[in-house]
């Protein structure tokens, strides 16, 4: 799958059933040697110059459960997904 095919997909937390953002607003952690994606880095909250630095969630690529047509679903729980 190409990076351009991932862009614009909604990122959804399976455990909380919550929309976390859209890929394009999130960053990717990519290995420069082989081009593999290691993690999605999702900012939490809205950017505001008067607030403290925004927090983020790092989702390891092995926590991605499904990349669908419109969304990417991940699960951060410790239990394996059947």
> What are the chain's domains?
3-74 (2.30.30.240)
- In the chain, what is the straight-line distance between the N-terminal and C-terminal CA atoms, in Å? 24
The confidence band for 27, taking pLDDT boundaries of 50, 70 and 90, is: confident
**pLDDT tens digit sequence for 29-56:** 889 998 888 998 888 765 555 555 567 8
Instruction: Tell me the C-alpha distance between 36 and 10, whole Å.
Output: 20
Given this model, what pLDDT does residue 78 score?
Answer: 65
Give CA separation, 63 vs 4, 25, 73, 81, in Å: 21, 19, 9, 10
The confidence band for 81, taking pLDDT boundaries of 50, 70 and 90, is: very low
Tokens read off for 17: 């059933």
What is the pLDDT averaged over residues 13-17?
88
């Amino acid at each position: 799958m190409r990076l351009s095919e991932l862009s614009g997909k909604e990122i959804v937390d399976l455990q909380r059933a919550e929309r976390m953002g859209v890929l394009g607003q999130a960053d990717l952690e990519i290995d420069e040697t082989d081009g593999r994606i290691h993690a999605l880095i999702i900012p939490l909250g809205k950017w505001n110059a008067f607030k403290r630095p925004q927090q983020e969630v790092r989702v390891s690529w092995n926590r991605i459960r499904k990349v669908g047509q419109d969304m990417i679903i991940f699960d951060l729980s410790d239990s394996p997904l059947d």
